[in-house]
Structure 1
Amino acid sequence: MTSQIDSLLIIGGGQSGLAAAHAALAAGLQPLILEASTRPVGSWPRYYDSLKLFSPARYSSMPGMAFGGDPERYPGRDEVVAYLERYAAALADRGAELRTDARVTEVETIREADGDGFLVRMNGGEELVAPIVIAASGSFTCPNLPALPGLDTFAGQVLHAADYRSPASLPGEHVMVVGAGNSAVQIAHELAAHTRVTLASRAPIRFVAQRPLGRDVHFWFRVTGFDRLPLARADAPPAGLVLDDGRYRQALHEGRYRRRPMFTRLDGDKVEWTDGRRERVDAVLLATGYQPSLPYLAGLGALTTDGRPRQRHGLSLSHAGLGYLGLEWQRTPSSNTLRGVGADARHVVEALARRLRDSSQRVRA
């Protein structure tokens, strides 16, 4: 069965898709959100148990709804899930349509009377036709798995941060965490209370004080305008920094976990370091980031050969009615965050809404 959507179709019901729906309602559009999971909260329930936001509640709100509670606290994973559920319910009350268990399998272009549109195929065989589409499906389901020497034949357990929940996920006497960002350091610190941990990274850890001069760093981001800093290009974001309230740097200094330059190779259950030394490793955790999860666009010609969208500031360079949200450093340093995705959503939705209005006017003329 094929149904016509007259306005905006959003693929993904996490923070980016919900922000897009909020912007669409503000622009006078009636959005339809398709969410593959059973809840309109994106990937948040699948993050590790101890995860806390690196921004206080005061700076973690989406457009139109304060996070609530103590504004200086750092909300945990489950608080974010509850917040997004409230946000989705508020959007539904305003007229946004949200479907769960609605996984998009393919998107094609079709010719309509007012120009090119999109045929969106879903699991179960349903098809939807829409004039504009926003891909807001995030990246959590597409973890980056680097081709490290010997990783494919490593005798121990290999786990990506996407599958990590707690120290029970990685039993053994020696765990190696690969990465240098916030997640790598936070997980290494947590594991170090239970086992010996080595953090392997290509560059040294770069710690940034969480509360310089007594104020959270996000206060300074807001005051200085850093969060709104426009980017000329987002294909290669800079290496991440680790926000630290003092615990992580101190634990590293005290030797509760150690950091070493990236190893030469894995061999059986051993790791070989650049100085030739070898030691046993029971498990490897890859905190190596993610790639945009856009498999449904593979046949559209909208992606590069490595699966990244051909886009500028969230607008497709190959298809006029296609937009993106939730990409790292899409327009600003805060693009893929609760606090920053709203500004990107307004930019993308307003541009696509103009296209929709222009198309309708041409048809009437």
Structure 2
Amino acid sequence: MQEYSSQAAYDRGEAVCVIGAGASGLIAVKNLRENGFEVDCYERDTVLGGLWNPQNQHSPLYANTHLVTSRSQTEIPDFPMPDDWPDYPSAAQMLAYLTSYAKHFGLSEHIWYGSEISQIQPVEGSRFEVVVKPAAGSAARRLRYGAVIIATGHHWNPNLPTYPGLDRFRGTVVHSSQLKDASKLRGKQVLVIGGGNSGADIACEAAVNASACVHSVRGGTWHLPKYLGGEPADYALARLTARPKFLRRFLTDRLLKGPDRLAARMGVAPAESGSDKEPVRNGRYLEHVGDGSIERRGEVARFDDYDVAFADGSELRPDLVVLATGYQPKITCCPPKLLGGSDDSPEPKLLARMFSPRLETLAVAGLVEPGVGVLPIVHWQTHAIAHWLQVRKGDPERAANFRRQVVNESVEPEEEPGSAPRRRLAVDPEEYLASLGRIIDTLEQEPAK
């Protein structure tokens, strides 16, 4: 039986379809509108804000969530956060910020809530046919658009590791996205698996709520405190970017010398220098390790009935196991091959981390992990995408220069075998922003006569 109405697709001309009304989708709608495009934004939930809205049934927010990047390094360049907000805003403040952004730029009138994009297919003329499936009501609709921007994010498809015996384990196992409040931890022996920001945050919650907390990590991690020299740490480090590279490296190592020494003293630091590895951004974690309320152990080897065995031979009988193992990037509305993937390896492989290698009017916004606030990067990504869509039809020479520049900027470092999904999305924020700047410059420069 057909999933949608047999009527012909409704043609929206050169309008752009944006998928998702989280932070990336809102920024995309705003920048497209500023470049003169009609926009339809489709959100499968009934609220805006994506993961920052706890009313969104797919939100992974857990109790006491705050930004791990500072206000000045997270805010959208043309819409600063209020000056009287704390350095590290809460999830509630982040939602208020995005709601205010949408209201200020009049974005809500372009959003269709409760509408999921189940399929997009290219049609003639570099355009797309989009199948929109309402959450309730009549059959799905088919529409045609001049371009599609996917802004669904990558924090909704849990990365679930496999361990010997896990399927027969009789204890309780949850992914961090299911842990909505600290009451689930109270009075329990908790095992947290995963050494990233979420793992550290949940271990800290367990340290003050659970009867005991064991934190399983594969290897050493280095921890960036929230403040360095009286300033938010990421702001202090960002101020060094104008210095020559050799001097920046020297000053960064000096700034991190104290935190690195503390991490090494507690036995949690990696073998390599801190400035070479993505940090865990948590100001409380080392204190809890230091006072014994978090016990660190190595990698889990297997699950056995009610017990968990570790690679070092030790065992534990936890009441609750929390898998803080991140998320797998997954885009279900689009065939993997359109985004550079394949049936065997469906993860997107995008030009300049945002453009389809197959179709010039298909792009993805926000599918990066910069280690700093992602919203400034999404702002410049969507500015480049919107400007490209504007230029491509009216100025073929400039469009060709742009496409060449995008390909030139798309050389990716070789992936480490077995790297975590989050690491495969990682970009150096300074280098990537410079790359975006070069891409945008090709759109704004007049072609040589």
**Which residue of structure 2 lines up, in the alignment, with residue 24 of structure 1?**
32
Aligned residue among 129, 137, 146 for 2:161: 146
More strand by share: 1
Sort the Cα spacing of 1:221 and 1:312 in 2 relative to 1 into closer, same or farther, 3 A.
farther
| Distance in 2 of aligned mates of 1:349 and 1:96 | 19
Aligned residue among 65, 81, 87 for 2:79: 65
Preserved contact between residue 252 and residue 259 of structure 1 (Cα < 8 Å): yes
Deviations 1:84-139 (A, max 9, x none): 1121222326x96111111111111111xxx2211111114111211211110012
| Distance in 1 of aligned mates of 2:154 and 2:238 | 26
| Distance in 1 of aligned mates of 2:218 and 2:21 | 35
| Distance in 1 of aligned mates of 2:311 and 2:84 | 47
Preserved contact between residue 205 and residue 241 of structure 1 (Cα < 8 Å): yes
| Distance in 2 of aligned mates of 1:80 and 1:353 | 31
**Which residue of structure 1 lines up, in the alignment, with residue 422 of structure 2?**
none
**Which residue of structure 2 lines up, in the alignment, with residue 234 of structure 1?**
none
| Distance in 2 of aligned mates of 1:324 and 1:225 | 27
Shift of 1:239: 6.1
Residue 316 of structure 1 aligns to a residue whose secondary structure is coil
**Which residue of structure 2 lines up, in the alignment, with residue 191 of structure 1?**
206
**Which residue of structure 1 lines up, in the alignment, with residue 368 of structure 2?**
328
Shift of 1:357: 4.2
Shift of 1:207: 0.5
Sort the Cα spacing of 1:239 and 1:105 in 2 relative to 1 into closer, same or farther, 3 A.
farther
**Which residue of structure 2 lines up, in the alignment, with residue 121 of structure 1?**
131
Q: How many residue pairs end up in the alignment?
A: 343
| Distance in 1 of aligned mates of 2:40 and 2:241 | 33
Aligned residue among 98, 101, 113 for 1:100: 113
Aligned pairs (5 A) from 1:334-353: 334=372, 337-353=374-390
**Which residue of structure 1 lines up, in the alignment, with residue 351 of structure 2?**
312
Deviations 1:22-60 (A, max 9, x none): 221232222221111111111212311200012333333
Preserved contact between residue 110 and residue 116 of structure 1 (Cα < 8 Å): yes
| Distance in 2 of aligned mates of 1:333 and 1:347 | 21
Preserved contact between residue 102 and residue 123 of structure 1 (Cα < 8 Å): yes
| Distance in 1 of aligned mates of 2:393 and 2:147 | 7
Residue 343 of structure 1 aligns to a residue whose secondary structure is helix
**Which residue of structure 2 lines up, in the alignment, with residue 235 of structure 1?**
none
Aligned residue among 10, 14, 23 for 1:3: 10
Aligned pairs (5 A) from 1:194-233: 194-195=209-210, 196-225=212-241
| Distance in 2 of aligned mates of 1:358 and 1:149 | 58
More helix by share: 2
Note the residue ranges of structure 1 that are not aligned, 5 or more in a row: 230-237
Preserved contact between residue 310 and residue 318 of structure 1 (Cα < 8 Å): no
Aligned residue among 277, 280, 305 for 2:317: 280
1:152 aligned partner, one-letter code: D
TM-score, normalised to structure 2's length? Answer: 0.71
**Which residue of structure 2 lines up, in the alignment, with residue 232 of structure 1?**
none
Q: Is it true that 1:36 corresponds to 2:75 in the alignment?
A: no
| Distance in 2 of aligned mates of 1:3 and 1:33 | 16
Residue 285 of structure 1 aligns to a residue whose secondary structure is strand
CA RMSD in angstroms, aligned pairs only = 2.5
Percent identity between the aligned chains? 26
Shift of 1:188: 0.6
Note the residue ranges of structure 2 that are not aligned, 5 or more in a row: 1-6, 135-139, 246-275, 400-449
Aligned residue among 176, 180, 183 for 2:191: 176
| Distance in 2 of aligned mates of 1:295 and 1:40 | 20
| Distance in 1 of aligned mates of 2:126 and 2:39 | 19
Preserved contact between residue 109 and residue 300 of structure 1 (Cα < 8 Å): no
Deviations 1:57-89 (A, max 9, x none): 333322432221524432111111121112122
Q: Is it true that 1:77 corresponds to 2:91 in the alignment?
A: yes
Sort the Cα spacing of 1:80 and 1:187 in 2 relative to 1 into closer, same or farther, 3 A.
same
Sort the Cα spacing of 1:356 and 1:322 in 2 relative to 1 into closer, same or farther, 3 A.
farther
2:199 aligned partner, one-letter code: A
Shift of 1:300: 5.6
1:293 aligned partner, one-letter code: K
1:79 aligned partner, one-letter code: Q
| Distance in 1 of aligned mates of 2:337 and 2:142 | 16
2:143 aligned partner, one-letter code: L
Deviations 1:274-303 (A, max 9, x none): 232222122211111112231111366433
Deviations 1:177-213 (A, max 9, x none): 1111111101111111122111111112311122111
| Distance in 2 of aligned mates of 1:133 and 1:264 | 44
1:242 aligned partner, one-letter code: V
Preserved contact between residue 32 and residue 386 of structure 2 (Cα < 8 Å): yes
| Distance in 1 of aligned mates of 2:162 and 2:201 | 23
| Distance in 1 of aligned mates of 2:388 and 2:377 | 18
Residue 16 of structure 1 aligns to a residue whose secondary structure is helix
Preserved contact between residue 194 and residue 325 of structure 2 (Cα < 8 Å): yes
**Which residue of structure 1 lines up, in the alignment, with residue 259 of structure 2?**
none
2:359 aligned partner, one-letter code: H
Sort the Cα spacing of 1:21 and 1:96 in 2 relative to 1 into closer, same or farther, 3 A.
farther
| Bigger Rg, which one | 2
| Distance in 2 of aligned mates of 1:187 and 1:324 | 30
